[in-house]
Amino acid sequence: MTTPRLGRDTVPAAALLRPAPPERTGIVHLGLGNFHRAHQAVHTAQALAHTDGPWGILGVAGRSTGVADAMREQDLRYAVTELSPHGSSVTVPGVHTGVLVAARQTDAVLDAIAAPDTRIVTITVTERGYTYSPRTHALDVDSEAVRADLRGDAPPRTTIGQIVRGLQRRSRTGAGPVTVLSCDNLGANGRRTRRLVREFIAELPAAERDELDPWVAASVTFPNSMVDRIVPATTDEHRDAVRAHLGVHDAVPVPAEPFSMWVLEDDFAAGRPAWEHAGALFTDDVEAYELLKLRLLNGTHSLIAYLGALDGCETIPEAIGRPFIADAARRALREDYLPTLKVPEGINVDDYIERLFGRWANSALGHRTRQVGSDGSVKLAQRVPEPALVHLRSGRIPQQLALTVAAYLCCLAPAAETGPHAAAMSDSARENLAESLRRNASTKSFVDEVLGGGLLGDELAGHGEFTDRVAELADLITTRGPAAAVRET
């Protein structure tokens, strides 16, 4: 007998977080990836199960059609499989009211942003989706995609372009205030999104700019938010888990760890779901949580992923199981990241760190080193330079941060064979890094060229003691392996 496809009539009622999707769409979400589907969608379904409201989500994929098409075939349902070594459970959020693919249906996306029912535009497009320059942190007006969106003679392709053009429509149709909520791993993500939106508007022809900018200033809020849930890529094992639990076939289930955290500023221009009843925390001090998470979890995650991949580990749990990697991670946390943080009130940092080790060690998740290691050229800029500069300004070299950069460079531009996991990391900087490696006779000049090129900002590149250490550690990794490099830090 063939397994029935997941859909409105085949989901066992017990698995549904809410019985039916809301009737109205209050949220337009840009970025229909796994993270959104296991984080915001789940918190929203739980909030609506507590307090109902017009908060259905229209999910917008960027370019790829796979998830959107499958969700359409499944009456907008998919399963979230929560995995831990102690067992697994499967639920179906059922909170989406539609799906679109921006590259094909841009006009419909802009209309949705402008629709009177829409009160919130949420974003998970990853660090790479914000089209800002790593060097200046301002909108990358030199990039071809941003320039094209500014000309406006074709449908906008960039996220910032789509948001601005949608807001422009909204301002002209009088649909009222709206909130733009970034849910990506960027420091001060709300403030940064506002800055990029306003920089885009500032580049528009004067008449458009003068019409739109005051409207955005008066009618759009951009709260900061910290998001946290480890969400790997989907594999057949996750499809099998859904089949085993629910007796249906889901083409696009999302695996996730049991842990989930969301901290937000309560600055919504036109209302919001009662997320506080779904585990979200509202506070004026989001930044402290963001930095804690970006540095302790994400920064250390990158180190684990690069050292792990270089040591032949396919997964993060395998990597953190190697004592030399756990040792490097612990030292990164304690010596390099923690001293740069203001720990938010109510967080016990020792518990937080122990919990991180438990989360990284979750072998049921199968989170791959290649996934965390991908896009390092944009991720590391969020994780490493600021804490590194705190130490360097007071005369100390943060060894594990230098090691993170060295291990990244060894994965992406290897001077010797590194194996399949590093080779599988995708990064838009890979080509340039490889060329730079070929051009330079020594690791030192290679590192100087790469960091001097703005990869981690200009200030860090100006600290010769840091770039020297990165080069030494990269040489050590190449000649004696990652474990020996850790021993020398």
Under the rule (CB under 6 A), what is the footprint of ligand CS2? 185, 228-230, 297-298, 301, 371-372, 379
- Measured from the CB atom, the residue of 372 and 460 that comes closer to ligand CS2 is 372
Pairing of strands 225-228, 261-264: antiparallel
Closest approach of ligand CS2 to the CB of residue 189, in Å: 12
- Measured from the CB atom, the residue of 215 and 357 that comes closer to ligand CS2 is 357
Closest approach of ligand CS2 to the CB of residue 378, in Å: 10
d(CA 81, CA 49) in angstroms, rounded, equals 19
Closest approach of ligand CS2 to the CB of residue 127, in Å: 8
Phi, psi of 182 (to 5 degrees): -80, 135
- Measured from the CB atom, the residue of 98 and 232 that comes closer to ligand CS2 is 232
In this structure, what token pair is assigned to residue 359? 């989360």
- Measured from the CB atom, the residue of 228 and 475 that comes closer to ligand CS2 is 228
Asked whether 329 and 486 are in contact (CB, 8 A), the reply is no
Closest approach of ligand CS2 to the CB of residue 453, in Å: 22
d(CA 319, CA 309) in angstroms, rounded, equals 8
Selection from 217, 214, 131, 220 nearest residue 176 by Cα? 220
Selection from 177, 204, 170 nearest residue 271 by Cα? 177
Scanning the structure block, which residue is given the tokens 């919130």? 120
- Measured from the CB atom, the residue of 333 and 392 that comes closer to ligand CS2 is 333
Question: Residue 89: beta bridge partners?
Answer: 82
- Measured from the CB atom, the residue of 331 and 379 that comes closer to ligand CS2 is 379
Closest approach of ligand CS2 to the CB of residue 191, in Å: 19
Helix H or strand E segment including 426: none
Asked whether 458 and 380 are in contact (CB, 8 A), the reply is no
Closest approach of ligand CS2 to the CB of residue 367, in Å: 7
Closest approach of ligand CS2 to the CB of residue 301, in Å: 4
- Measured from the CB atom, the residue of 230 and 263 that comes closer to ligand CS2 is 230
Closest approach of ligand CS2 to the CB of residue 253, in Å: 18
**Three-state SS at 31:** coil
Scanning the structure block, which residue is given the tokens 């291990």? 407
Scanning the structure block, which residue is given the tokens 């981690």? 456
- Measured from the CB atom, the residue of 56 and 62 that comes closer to ligand CS2 is 62
- Measured from the CB atom, the residue of 18 and 301 that comes closer to ligand CS2 is 301
Question: Residue 271: beta bridge partners?
Answer: 269
Asked whether 349 and 343 are in contact (CB, 8 A), the reply is yes
Residue nearest to ligand CS2 (CB): 301
Provide the residue type at 404 as one letter. T
Helix H or strand E segment including 409: helix 399-412
Closest approach of ligand CS2 to the CB of residue 371, in Å: 6
Question: Residue 178: beta bridge partners?
Answer: 220
- How many residues would you count in the chain? 489
